[in-house]
Amino acid sequence: MSTDVVVKIEKVTKVFPRGNVIALQDIDLALVPGEFVSLIGPSGCGKSTLLRIVGDLIEPTSGTVTVNGKPARRARLDHDYGIVFQDAVLFDWRTVSKNIAVPLELLGWSREKRKQRVEEMLELVELAGFADHHPWQLSGGMQQRVSIARALAFEPALLLMDEPFGALDEMTRERLNLELLSIWQQLGSTVVFVTHSISEAVFLSTRVVVMSPRPGRIAGIVDIDLPAQRSVETREDPRYFELVTQVRELLRKRGEHLLPEEEAQLLETAE
């Protein structure tokens, strides 16, 4: 792992004029290549906002974001990242293959190359037989896999994910966690992963960034020193539990601002 920094967030502040909400205040964060970083925190801590700022979908009020050594806007225009949202945002009027091909079409790839890459992606997310299906014919989990395949289609070095598995049931979620880990290791990309779930954050990441709300700040960062190869057994590893507890404590401590419901929700997902 090189020591180049792939994403540098410096003193980023975001204030939403309506209601004078300070969504983020003086955020500093640096990601090295190949990292898997989770952003976790209660509602209103700004994690999704931060993700969007990195993706140049929202502009920060002050501060800078550098991706691959370029300003965030340049990085977006250069297609340096892929993004996955909580709902799959697939186009109903296209088949699964055509949906995955959208970014490739925009990048001007030839039909040959597109076809080949789409097939590779389908293999990767294990949806090879569904190339000609339409989104409504797939389950929620399958739609998300298509969404991930689409995000990775042009092999971006950076992957931004905004609670991609939030709308799925626990079992599908755990399965997709494993798939995502395997894909991440195969491709060696850097991942920024927003989640509500402590267990998911610890299971997937190399680092967990805990954020607190009002104003949005980084409460603390937990290094996850679990082995690189993770599996179902990892969830029973005592070290895993220790780390989960560590994250939970951090959330609690800096969560004096947390409303009872928010805290309960966070603690629930750690089970």
**Distance set, CA 267 to CA 39, 51, 186 (Å):** 16, 23, 32
Residues 134, 95 contacting (CB under 8 angstroms) = yes
Instruction: Please tell me the count of residues contacting other proteins according to CB under 8 A.
Output: 22
Stretch 114-153: interaction string toward other proteins, x if CB under 8 A: --------------------x-xx----------------
164 touches other proteins by CB under 8 A: no
**Which of these ranges, 25-33, 36-44, 101-109, 201-209, lies near other proteins under the rule CB under 8 A?**
101-109
Which CB, 78 or 155, lies closer to other proteins? 78
Separation of alpha carbons 79 and 20, rounded Å: 32
Q: Nearest approach, Cβ of 126 to other proteins (angstroms)?
A: 22
Kindly state whether residue 16 participates in binding other proteins, applying the rule CB under 8 A.
no
Q: Which residue has the tokens 């599908």?
A: 172
Asked if 46 is part of the footprint of other proteins (rule: CB under 8 A), the reply reads: no
- Burial level of 167, CB count in 10 A (0-12/13-18/19+)? middle
Under rule CB under 8 A, residue 57 binds other proteins: yes
Nearest distance from C-beta of residue 140 to other proteins, angstroms: 15
Q: Per CB under 8 A, does 103 bind other proteins?
A: yes
CA distance 49 to 52: 5
81 lies in the binding site for other proteins (CB under 8 A): yes
> Based on CB atoms, which residue is closest to other proteins, 145 or 248?
145
Q: Is 78 in the site for other proteins (CB under 8 A)?
A: yes
Binding range to other proteins, per CB under 8 A, among 27-35, 85-93, 182-190, 205-213: 85-93
- Least Cβ distance, residue 233 to other proteins (angstroms): 36
Residue 83 interacts with other proteins (CB under 8 A): yes or no = yes
Verify binding: residue 259, other proteins, rule CB under 8 A: no
Q: Report the alpha-carbon distance of residue 202 to residue 178 in Å, rounded.
A: 13
With CB under 8 A as the contact rule, the residue among 5, 102, 226, 270 that binds other proteins is 102
